[in-house]
Copies of this chain bind each other. A is one copy, B any other.
């Protein structure tokens, strides 16, 4: 198993950052033919997801929908004020399986990989693991 960490800077309270090119780059750098790259987000107020990247409106609509699904204006118990961000992290999940074949990510035509900031802006990291067995 190969592994490493990417660093990211986010610039808004909620933001989807397209990291597809960076994931393709790190997979290419290993010189492997086929396998699965697991992206693991080590934060509890952020996430990772795969969705459409062609029209940025889709990203805005996803952020808007998450805000309506987990509204800020509720008497949450957690005092830090970021309970909605924690809930979003569990809704979208902590990791992604990204397959690659012939060294290329096997994503669908419209799919892009996004790091999801739910409580930014912050410095974030994203761990990756590649298994070829």
Residues of chain A touching chain B, judged by Cβ–Cβ distance below 8 Å, are 1, 3, 34-36, 38, 40-44, 49-52, 55, 57-58, 60-62, 64-66, 68-70, 74, 76-80, 83-84, 86-87, 89-97, 99, 101, 106-111, 127, 129, 131-133
Whether A108 contacts B43 in the complex (CB less than 8 A), given A57-B79, A69-B70, A94-B50, comes out as yes
The A contact surface, by secondary structure, is mixed
Distance A60 CA – B77 CA, assembled complex (angstroms) = 7
A61 and B44 contacting across the interface, CB-CB below 8 Å: no
> In the assembled complex, which residues on chain B have CB atoms less than 8 Å from the CB atom of A129?
36, 99
Distance A96 CA – B97 CA, assembled complex (angstroms) = 9
> What residue of chain B has the Cβ atom nearest to residue A47's Cβ?
B90
